[in-house]
Every structure is written in C-alpha cells, then in structure tokens.
Amino acid sequence: MTTATPAFLRRSDAGLYVTRVSQFLASSYADPVGPSEEHRGWTLGQDGITRMFGGAPDLGAIFLFNKQRETQRICPACRRVYHVGEAIAGTNLQANSTERQEQELSGICSYPCAVVMGAAEVMGKSADELHQQDYDRIMERNPLPNGLKFFRIPHGEEKKFGGLQVIFGTKEDYEKLREEFAR
C-alpha cells in the first residue's frame, strides 16, 4: 500500500520536492529544530531575517529552515528535500566533498543547483573564506528570482561593523554600498 503524497510535496525519481514551503514547514515531514544552541539561535528574530529576502519570502523561509535543522535541508534552487550527505541520484557524498560542505552551509544540494543560484565558483566555502573578488564574481551573474543575491560589505569595512556582514539585496543595492564604502 502506497501512502499518498501531500499536496505540498511532489514526488519524482530523484526524491521529494517542496511545492508549498509554508505548508511543508508546518507539517510532520519537516524535521524539528536541531538540538544545538546554534540551531536554536536561528529561531530568534526570524521576521527580520525573512524581510531581508524582500520579494522572495520562500527563500527566506528555506534559508532559516536550513540553518535551524541538524541534517534535513530544502535546496533553495530546486526545492528538493534531503539530508546532508545525500546526492541527487540517491547515493552518498564523501564527508569532505565540496557538495557536502555546501549542503551544510547553504542547503544547495548539488553543483547544478549552485550554478542556478550563481554560487558555483564559491561552492563549499564559508563566508569567512570568501574574498571581495568572489562576491564581485557572484554579482556579475544573472540575479536570482526577484533580483536577490547575497553579497558582503567590502573587506575593509568588516572591522568597523564588528565582523563579516552578509547582505541580501539587488545588484543595485550592492553597487550603492560599494560606492558608499569607497569614500
């Protein structure tokens, strides 16, 4: 006997895909928030974080979901639901592979999805491993849905703001900030 797939999920040979993010998050299909302080810390100030995603609230919800869960992820590009370490074809990724590191960091499930998100060149790198040139290359790519991208404030300003600052916005936002900090 096969269980029917809920309306907020789509089943394919590659696995389950989320079609309605808010319904998935409210369902028993979504793993609970992880046990660590780091996971629980992402539950605070959620409204402010989702507002940073402006016209793409589903991306904001997926970002928070991925930060709050221990191993379950939703890929922000293809919306596949998976656990860290699972490859697209149902095989497992090696522990130190770039794809697995990216799954941990952002939830992007595979290299093709990193290409779609404009992050292939920085795949597997944490924010503190990226340089301004990396962000410039990302910003040169076509924008994500609704023109959103991630970028960081130029390197020289990090100390002024108390550490690395990652911003979500449009390419125009990025150019304005670069001009402002160049003064």
Residues 38-79: tens digit of each pLDDT: 888 888 877 777 777 766 778 888 989 999 999 999 998 899
Residue 143 makes CB contacts below 8 A (sequence gap 6+) with: 118, 149, 170, 171
The pTM is what? Answer: 0.72
Which position has the token pair 């394919």?
12
User: Which residue ranges make up each domain of the chain?
Assistant: 9-122, 127-182
Average pLDDT over residues 143-168: 46
CA distances from 163 to 41, 134, 167 (A): 18, 18, 13
H helical segments located in 37-81: 37-41, 46-51, 57-68
Between 179 and 74, residue with greater pLDDT = 74
Between 142 and 131, residue with greater pLDDT = 131
Residues 100-120: tens digit of each pLDDT: 888 988 899 988 888 877 777
Position 28, amino acid = S
Mean of the per-residue pLDDT values for the chain?
77
**Highest averaged pLDDT of the listed ranges 40-44, 82-86, 97-101:** 82-86
Between 96 and 164, residue with greater pLDDT = 96
